[in-house]
Structure 1
Amino acid sequence: MKDFKDYTLYYSPYCPFCVRVLNAFKGLDIEISMKDTGDSANKKELVNGGGKATVPCLKHPDGTWQYESLDIIDFVKKKL
């Protein structure tokens, strides 16, 4: 399993783009911290940090926030 625990994925289990990312991570055997934005505290963190409530969003250890499911998947694949 590849460790991406320094990254955090903000997601919703009802979002098809989030499901795309989650399935890709499962197929790549990625271990990552995740926060469901159905929890209001997690959603508030996302909005305050990333500037919008759009999911999926990958928070990088350097404090940057990355949106768009395919961009997130491509980024992780390149890091492997």
Structure 2
Amino acid sequence: MTELKDYTLYYSPYCPFCVRVLNAFKELDVTVAMKDTGNAANKKELINGGGKGTVPCLKHPDGTWQYESLDIINFMKEKLQS
């Protein structure tokens, strides 16, 4: 298993696009820090940092925020190959 401690995934367990990302991470055998936006503090952190409350969102160590499930999955596949 590859653990990427510097990345954080903001998600909702009820969002099908988040479930898509979670399943892909499981398939890729990768883990990242996770924050459920059902928690008000996590939701506020996402909005303040990323500019919107849309999930899934992957926060990168350089401070960028990546939205869109397929973009997140493709990024992770590329990162793990390099």
Category of TM-score, reference length = shorter chain:
over 0.9
- 2:67 is equivalent to residue 67 of structure 1: yes
Deviation per CA, 1:34-66: give whole Å up to 9, x if none: 000000000000000000000000000000000
> What are structure 2's unaligned runs of at least 5 residues?
none
Alpha-carbon separation, structure 2, partners of 1:46 and 1:5: 18
In the alignment, what sits opposite 2:33?
33
Identity fraction in percent: 81
Runs of 4+ with >4 A deviation: none
Alpha-carbon separation, structure 2, partners of 1:67 and 1:55: 7
- 2:42 is equivalent to residue 42 of structure 1: yes
Alpha-carbon separation, structure 2, partners of 1:2 and 1:69: 19
Alpha-carbon separation, structure 2, partners of 1:67 and 1:4: 18
Root mean square deviation of aligned Cα = 0.4
> What are structure 1's unaligned runs of at least 5 residues?
none
Q: State the TM-score, normalizing by the size of structure 1.
A: 0.99
Alpha-carbon separation, structure 2, partners of 1:54 and 1:31: 21
In the alignment, what sits opposite 2:2?
2
Aligned residues: 80
Q: State the TM-score, normalizing by the size of structure 2.
A: 0.96
